[in-house]
Structure 1
Amino acid sequence: MDIRPLHTEDDYKAALATVSELVDADPAPGTPDGDRLDILSILVERYEAETFPLQSPDPVEAIKFRMEQAGLSVPDMQPYIGNANRVYEVLNRKRALSLTMIRRLHAGLHIPADVLIGVV
């Protein structure tokens, strides 16, 4: 079993191809192919995390996404943000989210608080 760290995009692509083959074969855990799949999966995950880091979503974009997901309109957002004018101000980035708004959006719409705060 020739497994080594992934340093280049070619290494990454080769590992992905092998992982794909192994997943299709569905090896049993604890077998040589099962162990190979586990190790390569870890290496691929590490390479992706280092090469393609995910950015936290923008708080306003997260609110708009949740609104779209749930079919919510501006009046539906008033319990979380305030009157319609305030909702529009937040959605148009004219007003920052307050701590109270963050708490309400997190509790009521289940938007992660770290996303609403903008923690990276």
Structure 2
Amino acid sequence: MEIKPIKTEKDYDKALERLELIFDAAPNSKKGDEAEILSMLIENYENKHFPIESPDPIEAIKIRMEEMNLKQKDLIGVIGGKSRVSEILNRKKRLTVDMIRELERILHISASVLVNNYQLSK
């Protein structure tokens, strides 16, 4: 197959079909190299046409808490006292820089996710 840029959805579909056929090709073989190049072209097309938005910071915190089996009380001392933790998780107050640093350290959530803006509840 001739490798060319993916410009249309039809090109994208063809590239996906071809990649599926040669996906298990041996590395450093002609088909293996083709699969590697196709993967990069497909990823580039997907990043342009199907961007994934960063998650809401509060949702990211809640998801990570669930993954780590943490309760709201486990964040006391990390982002403040009991009422401050409640205010943050219920979107009554915004995260501060110090809170973001601690959450990044404790929950291993990228600061770039935590600094995203989010809607406060009324």
TM-score, length-normalised on structure 2? 0.88
Mapped partners of 1:33, 1:95: distance in 2: 54
- Superposition RMSD on alpha carbons, in Å? 1.5
The answer to whether residue 8 in structure 2 is matched with residue 11 in structure 1 is no
Shift of the alpha carbon at 1:31? 2.4
Cα deviation 1:27-51 (Å, max 9, x = unaligned): 2233221221122111111111101
Aligned length, in residue pairs: 117
Which SS does the other structure have where 1:55 is aligned? Answer: coil
Q: 1:42 aligns with which of 37, 40, 43?
A: 40
Which SS does the other structure have where 1:80 is aligned? Answer: coil
**What corresponds to 2:102 in structure 1?**
104
Mapped partners of 1:75, 1:109: distance in 2: 14
- Superposed, which structure 2 residues align to 1:29-108 within 5 Å? 29-108=27-106
Residue type of the partner of 1:15? A
Shift of the alpha carbon at 1:68? 0.9
Q: Which runs of 5+ in 1 are unaligned?
A: none
Shift of the alpha carbon at 1:96? 0.5
Residue type of the partner of 1:86? R
TM-score, length-normalised on structure 1? 0.89
Mapped partners of 1:42, 1:111: distance in 2: 27
Runs of 4+ in 1 over 4 A off after TM superposition: none
Identity %: 48
Shift of the alpha carbon at 1:115? 1.0
Which SS does the other structure have where 2:87 is aligned? Answer: helix
Cα deviation 1:2-58 (Å, max 9, x = unaligned): 1211111121111111101101xx222332212211221111111111011121111
